[in-house]
Amino acid sequence: MFENSDRTNLNELGEFGLIDHLTQSIQLTQKSTVKGIGDDAAVLDFANKKTLISTDLLLENVHFDLRYVPLKHLGYKAIQVNLSDIYAMNGIASQVTISIGLSSKFPLEAVEEIYEGALLACQNYNVDLVGGDTSTSQQGLVLSVTSIGYADTDAIAYRSGAQEGDLICVSGDLGGAYVGLQLLEREKQIFLENPNIQPDLEGKDYIIERQLKPEARKDIVELLASLDIKPHAMIDVSDGLASEILHICKASNVGCKLYEEKIPLDPMTYETAREFGLDPTVCALSGGEDYELLFTVPQSDYDKVKNQMEITVIGHITEAAAGYQLISKSGNVHDIKAQGWNAFKSEE
């Protein structure tokens, strides 16, 4: 991964030296951060807001593959996927912590790249890095990110708030991250068979970025606030549309009707899925890792959302007894089942 001459062994710095090195340039920007790195605990003050906390654990070869994920992207994505959970509560993220387990194969330069990506994400999304933990790992890279945010009590959007008659909305477009992963997996196989062949990802930037460099939808939380919309229920799309809408429906004790023709797909996602012999709708339903926001709003908000480029109405909430329905382009009714990303993969 790194040439020998560019490698600085982590033992040369020691744990405290490494932490200092990685965090020395951090500048705190959030007024809710009273104390960041450097004591036994960070101190935060959210005054009269509710505090939101979410954690993710990322393990090498379970959640990411360093053969095609650049370390800087890994750091960036680790922060994004975690911030996404705060936005999915209709909150604003303000702090993160990063814990990292490093095996001896990682030189300082590798850790620096991960932090470069992570700190760029923090900067772009206006959050403070306020702590973490550092350890050696027997095998592989371990990354855990905790994000912290805030919201007004009555602004928080739970999965359980959907009501019969609500419009089901989704931000951006779906399926791209999964199709991007297929492309990266294919190029990895070709590379493993013949390392002299350069990856052919020409013209596929959008879906590769959807996989390697997702952007959490802070902008949607801000847009909804500016439109004076309080989503009844919200979740982020990490496992695919099917799985997420079922989470909302089950938590809210309601049913749903989704229309296949309304599901937003980017043209590159559509074409590339076809090249792989995949159904683009299935990629949106079961692909995952899109990190868009799926939410429900009362019908009376239709006029507010209908002309928003970044929001698509894809169906509505029904009574629980009507079940979970997907109306296909040809008008057939299908049951929506949660396949999730893993189930989908094992079908191959």
Binding residues for substrate: 63, 289, 341
Least distance from ligand ADP to the Cβ atom of residue 30, Å? 16
**Choices 34-42, 57-65, 144-152, 242-250 (CB under 6 A): range interacting with ligand ADP:** 34-42
**Residue closest to 339 by CA, chosen among 299, 297, 283, 278:** 283
CB contact set of 202 (below 8 Å; sequence gap of 6+): none
Q: Which residue in the set 6, 20, 45, 133 belongs to the binding site for Mg ion (CB under 5 A)?
A: 133
The partner in contact with residue 71, picked from ligand ADP, Mg ion, none with C-beta cut-offs of 5 to 8 angstroms by kind, is none
Least distance from ligand ADP to the Cβ atom of residue 113, Å? 14
Distance in angstroms (rounded) separating the CA atoms of residues 98 and 339:
30
The partner in contact with residue 234, picked from Mg ion, ligand ADP, none with C-beta cut-offs of 5 to 8 angstroms by kind, is none
- The helix or strand, by DSSP H or E, that contains position 39, with its residue range, turns out to be none
Site string for ligand ADP, 109-148 (x = CB under 6 A): --------------------x-xxxx--------------
CA angle 171, 176, 182 (to 5 degrees): 160
Q: Give the three-state DSSP class for 48.
A: coil
Distance in angstroms (rounded) separating the CA atoms of residues 316 and 310:
18
Least distance from Mg ion to the Cβ atom of residue 23, Å? 12
CB contact set of 65 (below 8 Å; sequence gap of 6+): 188
Residue 36 has what DSSP assignment?
Answer: -
305 binds ligand ADP (CB under 6 A): no
| CA gyration radius, the chain | 21
Distance in angstroms (rounded) separating the CA atoms of residues 157 and 218:
14
**Choices 127-135, 166-174, 186-194, 228-236 (CB under 5 A): range interacting with Mg ion:** 127-135
What is the token pair recorded at 7? Answer: 């490698």
Q: Tokens 């020409």 map to which residue? A: 202
List, as residue ranges, the binding site for ATP. 115, 132-133, 159, 238
What is the token pair recorded at 187? Answer: 């190029």
Return the number of the residue (45 or 279) whose C-beta is nearest ligand ADP: 45
Return the number of the residue (133 or 261) whose C-beta is nearest Mg ion: 133
**Choices 47-55, 128-136, 196-204, 254-262 (CB under 5 A): range interacting with Mg ion:** 128-136
Q: Which residue in the set 38, 53, 55, 200 belongs to the binding site for ligand ADP (CB under 6 A)?
A: 38
Question: Which residues contribute to the site for Mg ion (CB under 5 A)?
Answer: 133
Residues at the interface with ligand ADP (CB under 6 A) = 19, 22-23, 37-40, 98, 100, 129, 131-134
